[in-house]
Chain A
Amino acid sequence: MSKKPTAGPALHKVIMVGSGGVGKSALTLQFMYDEFVEDYEPTKADSYRKKVVLDGEEVQIDILDTAGQEDYAAIRDNYFRSGEGFLCVFSITDDESFQATQEFREQILRVKNDESIPFLLVGNKCDLNDKRKVPLNECQLRAQQWSVPYVETSAKTRENVDKVFFDLMREIRSRKTEDSKATSGRAKDRCKKRRLKCTLL
């Protein structure tokens, strides 16, 4: 009955951010349970955990599905702090939600204080292409400015749902190995980070 050392599979912490109604919960539930939820119910903050196989290695993903509402902005910092990677979601049928990603991005960078935090810009509801309000090239441009990947998904048809979660986990994983190398070896990683920042500027 002694305490087991909780080695277990690696745990990657992902946070869903974005305005309300863009499909954060729908993407999460599709990934977790393979089902599309039609009814819209504002989330407060729900967490999920699941074992998955990432490139042949068993890992755990922890998904925190957050609220998009304004009045939570003040405590969002608290949630963001624990995240290791972010899926920043907007709906391609809603320009306001696209504009809002800017604010989320800034808040994340401020809280995490790290320009190269694993991050994906996700344009959801791509099954509604006929109602598209945000042109594809604008999305790509923004992603380019931020140096992050841009992926379009549909929680309804499951298109790219696995992809965004797995791509993000891969980034988180490589960040972690990089970091551990840095701490065990030299602080040469810091140079790398700085270099990244330079290319950004």
Chain B
Amino acid sequence: MKQLTVFIENRIGRLEQVTEILSQNGINIVCLSLSDTGEYGMLRMIVSQPAQAVEVLGDAGFSAMLTDVTAIKLVHHFGMLNKLSKLLSDNGIDIKYMYALNSGADAAVVIKTSDDAKSEQLLLEAGQFSVLSASEVYNM
């Protein structure tokens, strides 16, 4: 699954410009996370048409790129997130970032790890997690 990442200099109004450009082009934001280093921000989003989003933002002078991420659905159960983190770290996988994905009744997260393929496999084997398909997420 592709995540849209936009590098944002900390200038007033940059975030607003991004959301405006996306909405003008009929691109829906499924979920987003903004991490901020104090000097610049990294806006990470799951959107309905990621490739088109890169193009329109690029045309507007933004540095936008696509990153491979995984969307994981968890059973709504106490301590599931902790279980997920532990499973990965026990197997020597680093979680680079994670943010919540609103998927109705179940809990879901978007994660980026040091080894996406391996973490997907580990989570599936554990039985309590499922991987959401890209088209499923883009159309949420």
On whether the two chains bind one another, the answer is: no
